[in-house]
Amino acid sequence: MAEFLYLYKNRARFSFGSFAYLKAYAKRMLSIGELVRRNRTRNKLQRNGADIHPCAEIGVVKADGAKKNLKIGAFSFLGKVELALHDEIRIGQNVCINDGAILLTASHDLSDPEWKLKKAPIIIEDYAWICTNVIILPGVHVGRGAVLGAGAVVSKNVAPYDVVAGNPAKPTGKKRVEVLNYNPCEFLASNAAWLKG
């Protein structure tokens, strides 16, 4: 949601000169630097071929490889994240990827005497939550609403609404609620300043 035009069109409106008006605009001006930085990152990735929805939030992203391999849906949030774009990384809508996450689409084949590179896409479906310091390995498909616990190393597919944790990541036996209706981008201070005041 960091695209300025979206925030401006959907801004909370208050009576001109009222305390709520002054408070909202003070917050908006104080957070404008953060908003500009995230827009600059998104625009740079898009200029290099990434397909990023205008309402996705892009934090400090280190993206190595072909940017055309990156697709991010609406209202998804990426914090301080590393992406190895040797193959496609497809992120759905309303996904939250917290700081320290690393998504790897390639590795070396240990059974190959020439140690050749093997690659596979990563697909993350809507409403998945990738917690802090998660590592996702090549070929992983994360189902809708799944949660990857902090520090998990994920090498296998994760079923929808499953909660996995550990190294290697395994199901915890917990399930997430299946009716999800939230926007992880609304929690960012710069967006809340515009949308809520």
Q: Which positions are catalytic?
A: 108
Q: From CA 106, how far away is CA 115, in angstroms rounded?
A: 12
Buried b (16+ CB within 10 A) or exposed e, 101-126: bebbbbbeeeeeeeeeeebbebbbbb
